[in-house]
């Protein structure tokens, strides 16, 4: 009993000493009382220029200094993977396909989806390069070619990590944005303004930022898509339907969206390719093989695909027509007609220098210069023609005169037919000035020639092809 009383008296005395000390101030004027344990600051208060235990940059910035902002590249103070993933890295459970209890739209948009305000074009205080790159721009390391597992995911940096699995399914899912998946969500509002803004990349907006380095290597690499690199990945499914929609742009689908403003300016600019602006960048390698392949259309490869429907309406539509894409409406390009097939000229844009677009072996008989004589593979075997048929064919070559036409007509007759055709043709040439004014090629012109060349015509008609 006496022992318990002694302990109680000692505790009471100790408590009285502490209370007295708090009222009178520390002995000897010392600010802190040192003990064998932690330091106790009995007089600490915010504003005394001492960052005491219990104070922090958040509770007392005047003593402890301002907190370093999230996003300075250093994981410090009270920052964590939840509060500041851009500095501290994402939490280990992000992404795992589930929005766990400790995750939010700010700390793991891949699992929890984008925050409500993300995508409005304003980088709000609660948004960051990690949680909303479409508003705040990509984090500094994004675009270095390496997918950093600490801070980057398919949602925050598709250019390094590749697109998310759901990207390309035609639906803009809650974790996708115009930055991470323009093929589902469409282009960001700033895309197409001529500047590569912080929220844009070569993947999300090639017309402003230029094509990615791997674009054009004939492989649809991770991070590439039909919108960012149609020459490797092929055109998007809706490209060519006449409507500029979704992720389509002047860079990925000029046939729907029109040519980019810089096409043509004589330079193959950063956002231009052989598909979006062949006049500046030259036609793609496969263009000219006679086959209109999946990536080719009437705008980027008229030699294979033919002219666009509007070409020939006598109106040069600046949205889709230039001297290169439609010489009929817009006139010859500078340099066309100098005898050299150079620069961006093709058989479609400048036949005067580059010749015809006929390709023997592409299963199309492309007249008038491709015939059964020079390309039976496309046009079929020639059927021997009688003398009168050859003569009628030849009369169509006189006005306007075409030597090639005459040669093709006569070549379709056998030896005897060709001999008598030659006799009749010489008579026609001798009397051409007398008959040429009698009317267009046809019955009237033929009647005039028959008047002057009746004997030659009679011999020609009687000619027969000899067979063994």
What are the residue ranges spanned by the domains of the chain? 71-159, 162-281, 283-353, 387-462
The secondary structure of residue 301, as a DSSP letter, is -
**Average of pLDDT values for 115-141?**
82
Categorize the per-residue pLDDT at 417 as very low, low, confident or very high, splitting at 50, 70 and 90: confident
Q: Has residue 208 got a pLDDT over 80?
A: yes
pLDDT in tens, 78-121: 778 877 887 888 888 888 888 888 788 888 888 888 888 888 88
pLDDT score of 12 more than 50 = no
Q: Which residues pair with 33 in a beta bridge?
A: 40
pLDDT digits (tens, 9 = 90+) for 262-304: 888 888 887 788 888 888 888 888 888 899 887 788 888 899 9
Residue with tokens 């023997």: 360
Task: For residue 383, give the DSSP letter.
Answer: P
pLDDT at 62 over 70: no
Phi/psi region, residue 341 (left: phi>0; alpha: psi -120 to 50; beta: rest), is: beta
Q: Which pair of tokens denotes residue 105?
A: 């739209």
Least confident of 16-30, 35-49, 119-133, 383-397: 16-30
Proportion of the chain above pLDDT 70, given as a percent: 85
**What's the CA gap between 225 and 227, in Å, rounded?**
5
Q: Quick one: which of 339, 340, 313 has its CA closest to 328?
A: 313
| pLDDT tens sequence across 301-349 | 899 988 888 888 989 888 888 888 888 898 888 888 898 888 778 888 8
Give the separation between CA 279 and CA 265, rounded to whole angstroms. 9
DSSP per-residue string spanning 56-69: -TTT-HHHH-PPPP
What is the rounded average pLDDT of the residues 379-398? 82
Average pLDDT over residues 234-246: 82
User: In the structure, what pLDDT confidence band is assigned to residue 67 with cuts at 50, 70 and 90?
Assistant: low
DSSP one-letter code for 31:
S
pLDDT of residue 262: 83
Longest Cα pair distance anywhere in the chain, in angstroms? Answer: 159
Tell me if 220 sits within 8 A of 227, measured CB to CB: no
Alpha-carbon Rg of the chain, whole angstroms?
41
Does residue 151 register a pLDDT over 60?
A: yes
How confident is the model at residue 29, as a pLDDT?
36
Q: Closest Cα to residue 411, out of 384, 429, 388, 392?
A: 384
**Of 340, 399, 338, 347, residue with least CA distance to 369:** 347
> Any idea what DSSP says for residue 465?
-
Higher-pLDDT residue of 382 and 440 is 382
Whether pLDDT at 439 is above 50: yes
pLDDT of residue 18: 37
Structure token digits, residue 455: 């004997």
């Amino acid at each position: 009993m006496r022992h318990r009383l002694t302990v109680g008296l000692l505790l009471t005395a100790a408590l009285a000493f502490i209370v007295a000390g708090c009222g009178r101030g520390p002995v000897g004027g010392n600010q802190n009382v040192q003990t064998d344990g932690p330091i106790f600051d009995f007089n600490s208060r915010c504003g005394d220029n001492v960052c005491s235990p219990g104070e922090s940059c958040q509770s007392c910035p005047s003593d402890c200094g301002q907190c370093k902002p999230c996003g300075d590249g250093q994981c410090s103070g009270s920052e964590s993977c939840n509060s500041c993933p851009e500095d501290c890295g994402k939490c280990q459970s992000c992404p795992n396909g589930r929005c766990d209890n400790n995750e939010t739209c700010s700390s793991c948009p891949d699992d929890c989806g984008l925050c409500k305000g993300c995508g409005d074009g304003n980088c709000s205080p609660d948004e960051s390069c990690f949680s909303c790159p479409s508003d705040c721009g990509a984090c500094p390391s994004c675009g270095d070619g390496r997918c950093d597992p600490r801070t980057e995911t398919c949602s925050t940096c598709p250019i390094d990590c590749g697109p998310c699995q759901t990207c390309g399914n035609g639906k803009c899912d809650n974790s996708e944005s115009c930055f991470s998946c323009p093929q589902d969500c469409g282009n960001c509002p700033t895309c197409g303004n001529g500047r590569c803004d912080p929220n844009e990349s070569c993947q999300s907006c090639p017309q402003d930022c230029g094509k990615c380095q791997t674009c054009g290597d004939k492989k649809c690499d991770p991070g590439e898509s039909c919108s960012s690199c149609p020459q490797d990945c092929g055109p998007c499914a809706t490209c060519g339907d006449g409507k500029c929609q979704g992720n389509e742009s002047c860079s990925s689908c000029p046939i729907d969206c029109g040519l980019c403003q810089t096409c043509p300016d004589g330079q193959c600019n950063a956002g231009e390719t052989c598909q979006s602006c062949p006049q500046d960048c030259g036609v793609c390698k496969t263009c000219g093989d006679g086959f209109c392949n999946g990536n080719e259309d009437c705008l980027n490869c008229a030699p294979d695909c033919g002219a666009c429907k509007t070409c020939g309406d006598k109106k040069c539509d600046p949205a889709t027509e230039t001297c290169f894409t439609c010489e009929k409406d817009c006139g010859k390009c500078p340099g066309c007609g100098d005898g050299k097939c150079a620069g961006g000229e093709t058989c479609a844009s400048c036949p005067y220098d580059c010749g015809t677009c006929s390709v023997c072996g592409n299963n199309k008989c492309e007249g008038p210069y491709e015939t059964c004589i020079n390309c039976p593979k496309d046009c079929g075997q020639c059927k021997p023609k009688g003398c009168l048929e050859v003569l009628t064919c030849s009369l169509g070559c006189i006005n306007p005169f075409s030597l090639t036409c005459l040669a093709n007509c006569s070549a379709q007759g056998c030896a005897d037919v060709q001999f008598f055709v030659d006799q009749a043709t010489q008579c026609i040439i001798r009397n051409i000035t007398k008959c040429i004014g009698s009317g267009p090629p046809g019955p009237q012109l033929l009647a005039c020639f028959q008047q002057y060349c009746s004997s030659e015509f009679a011999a020609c008609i009687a000619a027969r092809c000899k067979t063994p």
